[in-house]
Amino acid sequence: MLGPDPAFGPRSAEALRDAIAHGSLIACEVVWGEVGGRFAQPAEAARVLEQLTVSFSSMQIAEALQAGRAWQAYRARGGRRERVIADFLIGAHAGARADRLLTRDRGFFRTYFADLTVVDPGVG
């Protein structure tokens, strides 16, 4: 969502602006960690997230356990190991703490977090 992407960049930026206009933005430690890995310095990542007004929202035990249940269901359905637990942690956190999740990976989240509203800037 944050990188320069010719196919999805403009729509991602528009989706972020829309989300900011309609409420606050939160992200759990997993998202902050993933974003941090895309910058040369942690301070750069923090600055960008703060400029976007993304608040740090810690995950609670119940959310982490919900992520584990969703990951277990994924594996029971034959899910490949490509999908790491981080995705499930993000989905469980968003389901408990947010009214929507901004992601281009809508099919996965809609399958395992059916009550979560997913906004996909890649669809347009």
pLDDT one-digit tens code per residue, 65-122? 999 999 999 999 998 766 689 999 999 999 999 989 998 876 788 889 999 999 888 7
Q: Judge whether 3 lies within some domain.
A: no
- Per-residue pLDDT for 8 more than 90? no
N-to-C CA span, the chain: 15
Which CATH number fits the domain that encloses residue 64? 3.40.50.1010
Confidence of residue 3 (pLDDT cuts 50, 70, 90): low
Pairing of strands 54-56, 118-119: unpaired
Q: Judge whether 69 lies within some domain.
A: yes
Q: Judge whether 124 lies within some domain.
A: no
Q: Judge whether 44 lies within some domain.
A: yes
Q: Judge whether 1 lies within some domain.
A: no
Q: What is the pTM of this model?
A: 0.87
Question: Which residues are 113's β-sheet partners?
Answer: none
CA–CA gap between residue 119 and residue 107 (Å, rounded): 11
State the total domains in the chain.
1
- Which domain covers residue 16, as residue numbers? 9-119
